[in-house]
Amino acid sequence: MNIEDYKGIAEEGDLRAIRALAGRLAGKKMLHVNSTAEGGGVAELLQRIVPLLKNLGLDVRWEVLKGTRPFFEVTKSIHNSLQGKGVHITRQMWDEYESVNRKNAEAIDLDADCAVIHDPQPALFIEYKKRGTWLWRCHIDISMPDRVTWYFLKNIVEKFDGSIFSVSNFAQTVSIPQFMMQPSIDPLSEKNIELSEEEIARTFEKFKVPMDKPILLQVSRFDPFKDPLGVIDSFRLVRKYHDCRLVLAGGTATDDPEGERVLNEVLEKAGEDPDIHILLVPPFSDRDINALQRGASIVLQKSTKEGFGLVVAESLWKRKPVIGGDAGGIPLQIIEGVTGYLIHSVEGAAYRIRQLLENPDHAKKMGEAAREHIRRNFLITTNIRNYLSIWLALEHKGEKVIYI
């Protein structure tokens, strides 16, 4: 994939800026580090961004921190605590965090002109920085963090040259420069390219989901913050009035040990209901997810806490109105009444689902607005432009004008 392939899809201004910025940075070394190669939005983004940056002439590497089960238990607790779920992180837990970070940092080549460290899991790599511009990229919702956990992390984050948050109200008081930058989707990836009606129908057949009535869909990891149990409750309210199906499709990420427990709760709640389909989708099932999103009538993302919520952008791009929780980056994507609806409760979700099921023409119009909103603001090209601009801005800190 090449940046020129996005001509006619992405904003021309983004493409021009990318060419100019990449010209200035060509040959330089960029390193991305996160904690999972598959599952979840960060891996999804990196799988697409890294090859494109390489094709722009940058020397880019993507490294994945190797954790142990206890380490990921600790980092999930840190994650939950930063997202405001009062979990106390003990001294012993921080020790585990430090030890796995040290082992990984010693094993990975950290030499780069620009290193982007994603989320808290590998944040302590900063202690091993040799040179270059180091950015901490926060993908999670830290608008209301547990103060003690945040205080610990803040001391680490302030050693970076800059920080990037997805949404302005996640930003915290830190002594280093902060940048706002939203994640994005790749319109040319298997997850988002156009599919034929036959392929969509075949996929539903494969998953044994008849397309005989409207289909409500939520695609997410089985995570309490994505509220899959609440989705089932909303569906049950809607079904008193409308015959429809619910599909909950998800997998588990290697850095998320909670998945199995939540999945079991979901299976138990769904019971023997023939209209609720719980699909366990293996990693790298991008075309299948694409087809499910395209075959759905309405997409839900009932998160109570959310980083950005890439699935929302993916669905809006496919002209599906989305009913989503008013959390994290979801309100940036759902313009109330234009591209979908923001909801705060099981009843609220059910009300909006009914409204859209009763007005398919309105839903169709919303779908068109949804696609244009994503095209203008949340495509991979805007993301690449932002990364390169932030890198260059920090390299030239103190200069009044940056020439690109």
| Contacts with ligand UDP, residue ranges (CB under 6 A) | 40-41, 44, 191, 219-221, 249-251, 281, 289, 307-311, 314
Q: In the complex, which residue's CB is closest to ligand UDP?
A: 41
Q: H/E element holding 69?
A: helix 69-82
Compute the least distance from the CB of residue 40 to ligand UDP, in Å. 4
Compute the least distance from the CB of residue 221 to ligand UDP, in Å. 5
Nearest to 36 by CA among 200, 192, 306, 252: 252
Measured from the CB atom, the residue of 63 and 288 that comes closer to ligand UDP is: 288
Compute the least distance from the CB of residue 45 to ligand UDP, in Å. 8
Compute the least distance from the CB of residue 224 to ligand UDP, in Å. 12
Compute the least distance from the CB of residue 102 to ligand UDP, in Å. 26
Measured from the CB atom, the residue of 264 and 359 that comes closer to ligand UDP is: 264
Measured from the CB atom, the residue of 17 and 316 that comes closer to ligand UDP is: 316
Q: What residues does 280 pair with on adjacent strands?
A: 250
Measured from the CB atom, the residue of 221 and 385 that comes closer to ligand UDP is: 221
The rounded Cα 380 to chain-centroid distance in angstroms is: 13
| DSSP for residue 47 | H
> For 108-211, where are the E strands, in sequence order?
114-118, 133-138, 162-165, 178-180
Compute the least distance from the CB of residue 129 to ligand UDP, in Å. 26
DSSP structure string for 288-349: HHHHHHHH-SEEEE--SS-S--HHHHHHHHTT--EEEES-TTHHHH--BTTTEEEESSHHHH
Measured from the CB atom, the residue of 161 and 256 that comes closer to ligand UDP is: 256
Q: What angle do CA 219, 329, 395 make, to 5 degrees?
A: 120
Measured from the CB atom, the residue of 132 and 325 that comes closer to ligand UDP is: 325
| DSSP for residue 171 | -
